[in-house]
Structure 1
Amino acid sequence: MEENSTNKSWLQRLKDESWEAELLVSAIAIFGAFKLFDLVKWAANFFIDKLNPDQYIIAYFITFFSLIAVSALVSMFVIHFVLRAYWVGLVGLNSVFPDYSIEDTAYSKIYTKKILAILPKLKDSIQKVDELCSVIFSVAFTFLFIYGYIALFTSIYLLLFNILSKYVPKSILLIPAILIAVGAMIQTIVSLYSNLKQNKEKEKLQQLNFTLVKYANMMLFGPLYKNLLQVFMIFGSNFKKKKSLSYLILLFLFSGSVVAGIQLRNTNIFYLVGSNYQRYFDPYKTYSNYYKDTSNTNFLLTPEIQSDLIKSNVVEVFIPIFDYESSMRESICGKYEKPEDAPREERIRNRANYLKECYKKYHNIFLDNKKIDVSFLRYDNHHKTDQFGIVSFLNIKDLPEGLHELKIEKINSEGAYLYWTIPFYKSSQN
């Protein structure tokens, strides 16, 4: 009995003093959560570089929902920090002034009574704010676990799919994804149906719901499924008693969506929307990232020339080569035949010549709508973004002074799947 009392006292003391740890963790979490935006931005660029454009839509959902999750986390931690700081102020105020006073009021007693009639008790406010802070903290880390695990699991599955697809039929590799999707769909439908008022006492249906929830969550969340189910059950089993706290989650989702909308323009996520990678750049607009002297990006999606004002007789063109392009070279350039018995230096030279000619086959450059013959140098790596690419030097000595236009295409087996139009002004002044 005494041991239980000691444990209870320890737990109560921990609860009473947890606000200090919450404030510290919340401040650190705000800083860390903002840094996660850079991780989402990097993930979008990583998928653009590594994945075949046919799979961009999957990467879009991974990165977009990750951005929503990070935005919700940021919103929660900021709100938590503000509320917990407000709570500390209320507790301090309560220690000096335990309650409202009518006798010592600076206002008239009639006015004071009317105002107090619409104001909550100080202790009630302290308790409600404390509850809100505790709920926010648990929901924030639940979001982190859910979206973090799903994003990581999906990314690993997608990368393994691309690696193994060279050796295993794609239909077989899709089986796990289909099973998870179908299982999650069936579980959702059964859960909704079993929670209808008229079905809550049907034992066989509830047993089926339990089984589906258990195994569906095991598939979706792996080793975290019990921890997440525990949080869900705490909210679900206390829903009627604390409805206002449960509805608070909707506010976080809304605020997270607002923050995500603001942060979205700082990423390349929209580039991943289906075939939107071509419409991402309007051919009738000029972008600063087309030009080396004005570019402010850390990941090039487009070719780049030295400036929009060319005062020399040469235009230097840098074209980024994405990793996924290696998977389509064979259909365009033919299979590279590696000379097994040749010396190492000769093998390296043959490989370099093959790539050099291959790059020329699936890149076209037009100057004022006239295709020009170019040669490429392999460039490792871009001075700012560290990307691999190819460089060509275009002789424009005979071009008249004025506005001109470069059109650059990337070709696959079906034709030009990427193209950019880059205007520049040729000046005769050196």
Structure 2
Amino acid sequence: MAGGRYAPGHLGELTQHLPFDMVDEALTATRATQTRLRDLPSRVVVYLLLAACLFSEVGYPQVWRKLAAGLAGIPTATPTPSALAQARRRVGTAPLHWLFDLLRGPAATIRQPGTRWRGLLVCAIDGTTLTVPDNPRILTRLTKQNGNHGGTGYPQTRLVALLACGTRTLIDAVFGPTTTGETTYTPQLLRSLRAGMILLADRNFAAKALLADIATTGAHVLVRLKNSRTTPILTRYPDGSYLSVLGGLRVRVIDAEITITTTAGRHTGTYRLATTLLDPHRHPASELITLYHQRWEIETAYLELKSSILGGRVLRARTPDGVEQEVYALLVTYQLLRTAMTDATNTRPDLDPDRASFTIAWQTARDQVVQAAGVIADTVIDLVGTIGRHVLTDLMPARRLRVCPRIVKRAISKYQARGPAIDRTSYKATIGIDILTPADP
């Protein structure tokens, strides 16, 4: 452990992925180091902010107690809630932003299945919203969303992330008011795209200008189009795809009918996909259709952020600057967990990272914080660690093909519940894919 006033400044075993000197460098680079040694040094406050993301169910004073719980025999401060609030304001947002920029990026993998397709790093982009407290200060920068879908009683901030599928590590992220749409935030993420990537995106990202900008980065794209969108047929290919153009960008278009069959019946949907991969021999249409399913990896990552870590709760911060600080702390903490999980799965080259349980990694990390365990690595480097051993011991089963109706299983209000007649069964399913050949216009 660090000594004296610095002792509570740790993150359990995750400290090995975010060591003291890295946090000190962030504070120095952003000029947030304390001018005099306090009971709450800036380094300790950074770890407090990150630990708070692991324990979202309690307030900052209780998080402090968890950081100090394993420090038997080391005298530590007992800060008041107001002292913790002042310390968080003193540190500000910049060090957390600096750390996220340092840690973001696809985790290094060793021949892990599910991370690359035909040599291309599989990535996904999408947006979500995080709910924040409802008070006048927050409302000066963030707003509530209204609409016939029910709206919300709380303001929200929009988060748009670029994710590496398979490991689900964050390559980049941007967030801000919901008055700005996902596609308006997206150009800020183009700095992180490069050749050797294939980006999966939904229909909201299929704007001509945006696709052209993505193509200039050297990355390839596989995006869904609206079925009603007109795409001229320039050349037909043997795999059923055809050459077309979106604005000035040449793309291959694939029309497919996907049928899901269960014991409860059949459901058929039509997909239209466009890709900048123009060679049908190197990148067959049938494989691209299957690949597009991995776009759901980013939806799972958002579930881990909002449901596992936050537990569906509103963020703590009660000021716009505090919200920004907390969101960056949340992204850093998520990236640290995913990095620890990837280090563990890398020890088994044939193991799909999808089988690593995020919940097990998160709960084990919480235990290590309370015990103040594994803060400093032993002389013998252990890439797996306690978190990784728990993950590898209790792997999830290989992904099974199942479907479940998209319904709310637990109504927000008991007065809006629709009764027991709703089908909540998960069904084993089979999928049939038929590539359609559209008629000449």
Q: State the TM bucket, normalised to the shorter chain.
A: under 0.3
More strand by share: 2
TM-score (norm. length: structure 1)? 0.20
TM-score (norm. length: structure 2)? 0.20
Tell me which structure has the larger Cα radius of gyration.
Answer: 1
More helix by share: 1
Greater relative contact order (CA < 8 Å, ≥ 6 in sequence): 2
